[in-house]
Structure 1
């Protein structure tokens, strides 16, 4: 039986995303690489990153006595969002598409079933006749070497043709090429225009990247406010980097409606459940410090443990503190020492943990080192 499938608006034509975002000062935007295609890079190590504390007083070095952050003595999350690459993780399903009653696209149907030669045979004549959807499909297949020899230069040509005709996925891809100057002449102005048009047409990845651009081009709170609507739209479509950014902005921008601020933890939780290790780290810290809701040491411990098992260095450091202070778990000096050894090996110094480590028994140190040596990222 012949199965024909329509073109999905969420086809894998979305090139990967690398999270940049809200840290002030902002260091600049990188075009991103696709979610789920890269190994994780954890948060850049900061000696004050996400300090865990038992009371509601600001941690040393994180706020002054005048309350320079929201709420004079309120706990607040680790500082902003910086540049990350996404880890390989299963993302939550996107919202269901609206019922489709348009024409069936046999080329995309063949592509989705893995019949690449057939897909190319059906798409190429249409692409040459000016069909934007077919041009995008041909570009995708050429960029991946599916059904035809890999050619990034030819792919760039077809992405450009489809972008000129308004295909959202092609506009996003071509914007990335223009940003990088890869196989086309670098042109930031043109790249920004295509990124905005793709975002306004509903492309989730373009919405996220446009938010990044707006922050880079508009330092300070202005950029945060301009970017927020696009982060929100991208987050609604299941982009976990955007969900994380929305959570951070909801607690960072002072005068947002209360109903938005109340959803900050919900957005961070969605990003954490999607497998974003930085969101998992912050989720743990938010629960422990009472950011965006009530404290919950047990949930905080669990999220920090998940992030630590996935190799997040800061989470490993914070988990050691939880084991020492019996926050959300029973005290366990060997486990605490193990996580400290792992984070120290990764370059995160912590004098307090070093003092703890030197103060435990030699046999406990040996056990911790042995466990650290056996550790494998989950």
Structure 2
């Protein structure tokens, strides 16, 4: 039955996959398929993945789902993409489970179902997947498919932060700055923002909150959690703008965590009006010379 089901929804690409060798799949064929996708050689990718999927390769099933979802080498079809993704997810593949959550949350390939999304996010998060931990935390923070519970959200954000997630570190910084389920503490907020800001931000297009570069810039500008320093503030706002923090924040963020309504470009321009040309030039030099350098906090362990 499973073979009939699979063959029914790969009919579009079956003519490509018949080009696949009837010999057993080599250990490196999946890596070859991934490489083919990365360079846009979808004909080769489909040929390799078809052979792998016929041998029940979970990773190939997940990648086929992704190709249908993105329309890579096949007509974009969220329904078929979800079917392939579901096969891999039911086998316990965390990445596929997280993708199932995203599809249900956005109503792609199936009717939107936020509670079902939370179920899939949790399955992947329980396996330690950072993206799923953040997605599950967001669901609790925003009340999407689960009761709004910032305490439960922080638990998952901390698990993601333990794996160096800049997004999770940024949200934890916001929690301390705003006093969300923790004691309000500007110095602790600054520490978390600094951890996140010294990395490439992993969610630059998510506008419900500002980037950590923006947030640490705001703290330097106001002198909260650290000494006031317009030069450092301008450097960080310049970096925030360069990384894409240029859109007005989502109204949800403004309502939930009092996210600033100003964009990084607006904050940058406001600061520049208060500074000398020499200070501005120095801040721009610092921003130009900046390189990601995660700060590692070394803590004493009890013997």
Matched, 1:192 2:118: yes
What does residue 217 of structure 2 align with? Answer: 284
Aligned mate of 1:301, from 225, 234, 239: 234
**Deviation readout 1:266-299 (Å, 9 max, x if unpaired):** 2342357679463332221111222333332210
- 1:216: how far off? 2.5
What does residue 170 of structure 2 align with? Answer: 244
Matched, 1:269 2:197: yes
Query: For structure 2, which runs of at least 5 residues remain unmatched after alignment?
Result: 1-25, 205-209, 248-261, 281-303
**Deviation readout 1:135-190 (Å, 9 max, x if unpaired):** 10111122233344433221111011111111111111111222233222333332
- 1:195: how far off? 0.7
- 1:104: how far off? 4.1
Task: Please report the RMSD computed on the Cα atoms of aligned residues, expressed in angstroms.
Answer: 3.7
Matched, 1:107 2:30: yes
Equivalent residues, number? 228
**Deviation readout 1:41-64 (Å, 9 max, x if unpaired):** xxxxxxxxxxxxxxxxxxxxxxxx
Q: CA contact under 8 A between 1:268 and 1:283: conserved in structure 2? A: no
What does residue 136 of structure 1 align with? Answer: 62
Q: CA contact under 8 A between 1:301 and 1:329: conserved in structure 2? A: no
What does residue 136 of structure 2 align with? Answer: 210
* Higher RCO, 1 vs 2 (CA within 8 Å, ≥6 residues apart): 1
Q: CA contact under 8 A between 1:304 and 1:319: conserved in structure 2? A: yes
Q: CA contact under 8 A between 1:244 and 1:271: conserved in structure 2? A: no
Higher mean displacement: 246-255 or 306-315: 306-315
Q: Measured at CA, do residues 282 and 257 of structure 1 come closer, stay the same or move farther in structure 2, by a change above 3 Å?
A: closer
* Matched residue SS, 1:175: helix
Q: Measured at CA, do residues 266 and 163 of structure 1 come closer, stay the same or move farther in structure 2, by a change above 3 Å?
A: same
Matched, 1:322 2:238: no
* Matched residue SS, 1:197: helix
What does residue 178 of structure 1 align with? Answer: 104
What does residue 20 of structure 2 align with? Answer: none
What does residue 160 of structure 1 align with? Answer: 86
What does residue 253 of structure 2 align with? Answer: none
- 1:226: how far off? 1.3
Which structure features the higher share of helix residues?
A: 2
Q: CA contact under 8 A between 2:167 and 2:202: conserved in structure 1? A: no
Q: CA contact under 8 A between 1:199 and 1:207: conserved in structure 2? A: yes
- 1:259: how far off? 10
**Deviation readout 1:177-206 (Å, 9 max, x if unpaired):** 222332223333322111111112222221
Q: CA contact under 8 A between 2:169 and 2:193: conserved in structure 1? A: no
The TM-score normalised by the length of structure 2 is 0.61
* Matched residue SS, 1:263: helix
